[in-house]
Amino acid sequence: MTTRVGFIGLGNIGKPMALRLAASDEIELTVYDVAPDPVAELERAGARAATSVATLASQAEVICVMVRDDDQVRDVLGEALGVAGDGHTVVIHSTVAPDTPAALADTAARHGVQVVDAPVSGGAMGAADGTLAIMVGGSDEAFAAARPALDAMGSLVTHAGPIGSGTKFKLARNLMHFVAFTAATEAQRLAEAAGLDLVELGKVVRHTDAITGGPGAIMHRATTAPIAKDDFWYGVFEHVTALGEKDLTFAIALADELDVDVPMASEALARLGKGLGL
């Protein structure tokens, strides 16, 4: 059996996501975007082009939405609900405010339409090769309806919980992402002041993170509660903390010597052990 999927929003990530759907033998794809060029590319890949959101909604069981922001998501859903009804599932891939998915699901339910929020992580590269992580919030029934489309676009699909959970999952993930970026800029300033090659530093970071898992290497516990001393993780994180505090102390001393401001390093030194649960 094939699933009739509509995809709205063919931007930098939406277009490669839609191309993955077009390549699937189990998906019958219709697309819509206000820009003609990506629509034409999807047509060449085997998708059908819709002339409006409403037309697309009338031809699809699962409607994937990857537009810019909350307002555009609301506009798209409003147009789709004019023709959608029982048997339709709307999948919101856009990253929106935490309370937006539940509000949209309430509106859609009055029309007999299911909604899941399913933001993605992995960027345009992950979208192109079908290795996105997709974090889904919604009922079991809605998740099951969306699953064929999700599996065609991602290699890790996780049902995070009820509606809104996918968005909260994505926000937690991206908090770490952008805090880590900020920490990277701090490390770059220190390395630059020390006369080091920043491009080579970047190579080392990417190389070792690919081996160790980067910040995700510590994320194996199911709780952030303090760790009992007889717990396996106590010894592991005690060792991590000892190494971290030593290296952070040295890095901060070097920064002081070179007159480089490293506030995130100072915060990490103060918070590392407690944050790990010690």
Name the residues annotated as catalytic.
170
CA 134 to chain centroid: 6
Q: The dihedral of CA 59, 60, 63, 68: what is its sign?
A: negative
| Other C-beta atoms lying within 10 Å of the C-beta of residue 41 | 16
Please say whether the beta carbons of 83 and 38 come within 8 A: no
Q: The dihedral of CA 189, 195, 197, 202: what is its sign?
A: negative
CB within 8 A of 4, min separation 6: which ones? 28, 30, 59, 60, 61, 62
Please say whether the beta carbons of 83 and 54 come within 8 A: yes
Nearest-angstrom CA–CA distance, 65 and 90? 7
